[in-house]
């Protein structure tokens, strides 16, 4: 295991970061293509951005960098295996509503009592699909298999985002912006991984580039 | 007939992978550019026989670069490299005049097959030019 | 071989199917709970037996698992169930169908290609019933059986959010039994409790299904009326006021007349939070009391 004495130190070389970036590009590009086929709308995933953030600055980073103002929807999901961590999707409540409209042709007929329920179902489905696809594709590129837990949907969260990060840890953050159907739905996907997993990831990246 | 190859990609790693996938039967002169704008400039100054173009890049993306290159030289042979093979993306780049699209990551096989097709096309257009003379 | 025995007898349903949604495996649990034998279903489309399964969400999830190799989850909350079947204790279950938590996952062939999918199905009927009971316990007022304050505040929060988002009207009525302390003092607490129960049941019996009625505290109650404008809100409050006034109550052979006061508020977009809303409706109720009780006052 790698020990990082100074939390601002980046535990990844520029070369490794480049490879990771390219693996992400490829993975997310494939995800966009296949997802578009499944849900039948144009899907755009931005070039993923890899950042290392000290745990104590995480909350601050989210509110400053994301400029997302509450209320928003959050979908949290853990994954485990050699590549392990937490994925979470964040998007505005407005986007959540639009997502229901995109996916459920017959949506809305449930009346007022049904809207939250419908939204929850849709978000759980799409969140699971998006994280599963992104994490799965990265793992696939690196020849690994990942296990997932049940996603957790938090509707209209207005409080501070999440307390899932240990203040003393280092968070390896992969951020991507996604858009469905010409902007009707957009948000962020974060992958947070721990240092053990990151060590494996680094080795896998070297193996990856060697195969060409 | 393919001597000079221009590779446009913002990722050093992607360029490295692409170079490693080129056929080893001969030495190619490789020119690289790291965004769309640089790619367009390099195309104009280097006049490559073949261009590999990434789509998602900063400054100027591949779609825009493709459009400018094809306007500048209607005979440009451009192969778009992307992991995002959505039909809508494919239709877009083909309508702009790309020669073909290949999926990322490339492999020795996919690059070889693509270059065979490029050679075929170059031969055909050469023959057509000759017969029309 | 041993594994097969386990898979066949384990208390989880296991179904395997191919890209055409034809069943290629159907374990003992599935056969036992659906009354469909392995012989009947193997090689046939799941949709022949479970037509409701052919819905966009299930199909999308399967496509995604085929494409990405991830797991797709259909937990009991919110999905209820995937495969319709009777609950094991159908004779006393409050659910018409067995509540299930299902997971769909990939099965890879030798070349790592995903060729088939599996679904595992767990019976969650008992847990769901238990959860329902627990929820009821934490959200209901023990004496009157109506919702409690905790439920009310959550419901109002949702309702306010919904109204702002979908631009729909809603009204809130705050009601209070007049001189309740005096009733308690002269007739005793058991009688007071009966009055509270009677008051609550009168409102609940007369309100719409989409309305929510809660005991706010002591002898104070709140009724939330979604999709109701001011006129509708006042009309309902007036109706209740009259009904309460006419309740045939007696204590030790002598007639007891009770009255109640009402504050009504209808959502307008200058109301930003629940605290403001409750303050305004409380003020209206106070005015009703102050100006002589047994009346309805609209908040301004």
pLDDT digits (tens, 9 = 90+) for A150-208: 888 877 665 555 555 666 666 767 777 778 766 677 788 888 877 778 788 888 889 88
What gap in Å lies between CA A105 and CA C60, rounded to an integer? Answer: 13
pLDDT at C214: 96
pLDDT at B128: 83
**H or E segment and range at residue B126:** helix B108-132
Residue A4 has pLDDT above 80, yes or no: no
Number of residues assigned to chain A: 212
CATH code (residue A68)? 3.40.1550.10
Note whether A29 contacts B: Cβ–Cβ < 8 A: yes
A6 domain residue, yes or no: no
Name the closest residue on chain C to residue A111, using Cα atoms. Answer: C210
A9 domain residue, yes or no: no
Residues of chain C with pLDDT under 70: none
Q: Do chains B and A touch, with touching meaning 3 or more CB–CB pairs less than 8 Å apart?
A: yes
Please enumerate in sequence order all residues whose Cβ is within 8 A of that of A14, keeping only pairs 6 or more positions apart, or say none. Answer: none
pLDDT at A169: 64
CB neighbour burial string for C141-177, b if at least 16 within 10 angstroms, e if fewer: beebebbbeebbeebbebbbbbbeeeeebbbbbbbbb
Q: How confident is the model at residue A47 (pLDDT cuts 50, 70, 90)?
A: confident
Mean pLDDT within B15-33: 92
For the CA atoms of B44, B50, B55, B57, the dihedral, rounded to the nearest 10 degrees, stands at -50
| Cβ within 8 Å, pair A33-B11 | no
Residue A10 has pLDDT above 70, yes or no: no
What backbone torsions phi and psi does residue C136 show, to the nearest 5 degrees? -60, -40
Q: Where are the domains of chain B?
A: 4-132
What gap in Å lies between CA C256 and CA C259, rounded to an integer? Answer: 10
B partners (3+ CB pairs within 8 A) are: A
What gap in Å lies between CA C84 and CA B78, rounded to an integer? Answer: 54
Mean pLDDT within B30-44: 95
* Closest-CA distance of chain A to residue B32, Å: 16
pLDDT at A69: 62
| Cβ within 8 Å, pair B83-A47 | no
| Cβ within 8 Å, pair C68-A137 | yes
Number of separate domains in chain A = 1
| Structural domains in chain C, sorted by start | 2-131 (3.30.450.20), 140-298 (3.30.70.270)
Q: B4-132 is classed in which CATH architecture?
A: 3-Layer(aba) Sandwich (3.40)
Spell out the alpha helix ranges (H) of chain C: 2-9, 28-34, 38-41, 46-49, 56-68, 76-79, 125-139, 149-166, 180-187, 189-206, 230-245, 274-290
pLDDT at B25: 84
pLDDT at A99: 80
Q: C-alpha distances in angstroms, B97 versus A26, A77, A113, C166, C240?
A: 23, 42, 52, 46, 74
Beta-strand (E) ranges in chain A?
Answer: 43-45, 49-54, 72-80, 85-92, 147-148, 152-157, 170-180, 185-193
| Cβ within 8 Å, pair A132-C70 | yes
What gap in Å lies between CA B8 and CA B10, rounded to an integer? Answer: 7
| Residue bearing tokens 């261009």 | B51
- Give DSSP secondary structure letters for C219-232: TEEEEEEET--HHH
A66 domain residue, yes or no: yes
pLDDT at A3: 37
**C-beta separation of B51 from B69 below 8 A:** yes
Q: Which residues of C touch A120 (CB under 8 A)?
A: 78
pLDDT at A112: 39
**Residue A141 is part of which domain span?**
14-105+115-209
* Closest-CA distance of chain A to residue C164, Å: 12
A81 domain residue, yes or no: yes
What backbone torsions phi and psi does residue C277 show, to the nearest 5 degrees? -60, -50
Among candidate residues B11, B25, B22, the one with its CA nearest the CA of residue B111: B22
Name the closest residue on chain C to residue A96, using Cα atoms. Answer: C165
**C-beta separation of B43 from B74 below 8 A:** no
C partners (3+ CB pairs within 8 A) are: A
Note whether B74 contacts A: Cβ–Cβ < 8 A: no
pLDDT at A163: 59
- List, for residues C246-289, the tens digit of each pLDDT value: 998 888 888 889 999 999 999 988 888 899 999 999 999 999 99
The C-alpha angle with vertex A173 and arms to A168 and A175, in degrees rounded to 5, equals 150
pLDDT at A164: 58
Number of residues assigned to chain B: 133
pLDDT above 70: percentage of residues in chain C: 100
What gap in Å lies between CA A96 and CA A75, rounded to an integer? Answer: 11
- Smallest Cβ–Cβ distance between C67 and the set A34, A103, A145 belongs to A34
Q: Do chains C and B touch, with touching meaning 3 or more CB–CB pairs less than 8 Å apart?
A: no
Among candidate residues B6, B11, B21, B49, the one with its CA nearest the CA of residue B106: B21
ipTM: 0.78
Note whether A211 contacts B: Cβ–Cβ < 8 A: no
pLDDT at A156: 65
Q: Which residues of B touch A28 (CB under 8 A)?
A: 83-84
Most confident residue range from A186-190, B86-90, B102-106, C120-124: C120-124
**C-beta separation of C122 from C100 below 8 A:** yes
A141 domain residue, yes or no: yes
| Cβ within 8 Å, pair B11-A30 | no
What gap in Å lies between CA B37 and CA B51, rounded to an integer? Answer: 14
- List, for residues C85-109, the tens digit of each pLDDT value: 999 887 778 899 999 999 999 999 8
| Residue bearing tokens 């969140």 | A127
What gap in Å lies between CA C280 and CA C7, rounded to an integer? Answer: 62
Q: How confident is the model at residue A45 (pLDDT cuts 50, 70, 90)?
A: confident
What backbone torsions phi and psi does residue C85 show, to the nearest 5 degrees? -155, 160
Mean pLDDT of chain B: 91
| Cβ within 8 Å, pair B84-A19 | no
Most confident residue range from A112-116, B25-29, C125-129: C125-129
**H or E segment and range at residue A204:** helix A195-210
């Amino acid at each position: 295991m790698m020990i990082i004495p100074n939390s601002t130190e980046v535990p990844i070389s520029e070369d490794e970061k480049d490879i990771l970036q390219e693996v992400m590009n490829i993975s997310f590009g494939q995800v966009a293509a296949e997802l578009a086929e499944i849900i039948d709308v144009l899907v755009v995933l931005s070039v993923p951005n890899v950042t290392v953030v000290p745990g104590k600055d995480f909350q601050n980073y989210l509110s400053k960098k994301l400029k997302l103002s509450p209320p928003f929807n959050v979908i949290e999901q853990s994954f485990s295996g050699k590549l392990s961590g937490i994925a979470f999707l964040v998007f505005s409540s407005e986007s959540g509503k639009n997502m229901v409209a995109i996916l459920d042709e017959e949506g809305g007929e449930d009346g007022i009592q049904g809207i939250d329920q419908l939204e929850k179902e849709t978000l759980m489905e799409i969140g699971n699909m998006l994280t599963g696809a992104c994490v799965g594709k990265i793992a696939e590129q690196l020849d690994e298999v990942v296990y997932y837990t049940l996603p957790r949907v938090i509707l209209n969260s207005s409080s501070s985002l999440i307390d899932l990060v240990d203040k003393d840890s280092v968070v390896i953050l992969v951020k991507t912006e996604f858009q469905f159907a010409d902007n009707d739905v957009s948000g962020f996907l974060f992958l947070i991984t721990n240092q053990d997993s990151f060590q494996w990831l680094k080795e896998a990246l070297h193996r990856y580039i060697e195969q060409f | 007939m393919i001597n000079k190859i221009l590779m446009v990609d913002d990722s050093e790693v992607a360029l490295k992978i692409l170079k490693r996938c080129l056929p080893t039967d001969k030495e190619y002169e490789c020119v690289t550019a790291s965004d769309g704008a640089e790619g367009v400039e390099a195309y104009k100054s280097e006049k490559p026989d073949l261009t590999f173009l990434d789509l998602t890049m900063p400054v100027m993306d591949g779609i825009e670069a493709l459009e400018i290159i094809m306007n500048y030289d209607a005979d440009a042979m451009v192969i778009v490299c992307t992991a995002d093979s959505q039909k809508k993306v494919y239709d877009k780049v083909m309508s702009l005049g790309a020669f073909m699209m290949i999926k990322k990551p490339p492999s020795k096989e996919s690059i070889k097959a693509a270059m065979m097709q490029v050679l075929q096309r170059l031969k055909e257009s050469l023959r057509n030019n000759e017969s029309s003379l | 071989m041993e594994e097969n025995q386990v898979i066949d007898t384990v208390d989880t349903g296991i179904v395997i199917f191919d890209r055409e949604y034809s069943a290629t495996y159907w374990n003992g649990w599935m056969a036992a709970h659906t009354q469909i034998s392995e012989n009947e279903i193997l090689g046939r489309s799941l949709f022949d037996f479970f037509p409701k399964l052919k819905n966009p969400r299930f199909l999308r999830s399967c496509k995604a698992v085929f494409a990405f190799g991830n797991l797709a989850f259909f937990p009991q909350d919110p999905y209820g169930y995937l495969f319709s079947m009777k609950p094991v204790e159908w004779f006393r279950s409050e659910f018409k169908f067995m509540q299930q938590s299902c997971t769909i996952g990939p099965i890879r062939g030798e070349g790592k290609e995903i060729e088939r999918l599996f679904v595992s199905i767990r019976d969650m009927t008992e847990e769901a019933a238990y959860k329902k009971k627990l929820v009821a316990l934490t959200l209901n007022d023990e004496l009157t059986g109506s919702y409690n304050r905790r439920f009310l505040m959550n419901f109002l929060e949702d309702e306010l959010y919904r109204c702002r988002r979908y631009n729909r009207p809603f009204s809130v009525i705050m009601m209070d039994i007049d001189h309740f302390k005096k009733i308690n003092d002269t007739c005793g607490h058991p009688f007071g409790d009966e009055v509270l129960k009677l008051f609550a049941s009168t409102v609940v019996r007369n309100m719409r299904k989409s309305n929510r009625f809660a005991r706010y505290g002591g002898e104070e109650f709140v009724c939330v009326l979604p999709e109701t404008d001011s006129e509708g809100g006042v009309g309902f409050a007036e109706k209740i006021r009259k009904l309460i006034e006419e309740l045939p109550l007696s204590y030790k052979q002598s007639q007891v007349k009770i009255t109640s006061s009402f504050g009504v508020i209808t959502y307008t977009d200058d109301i930003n939070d629940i605290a403001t809303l409750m303050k305004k409706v409380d003020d209206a109720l106070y005015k009703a009391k102050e100006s002589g009780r047994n009346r309805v006052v609209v908040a301004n």
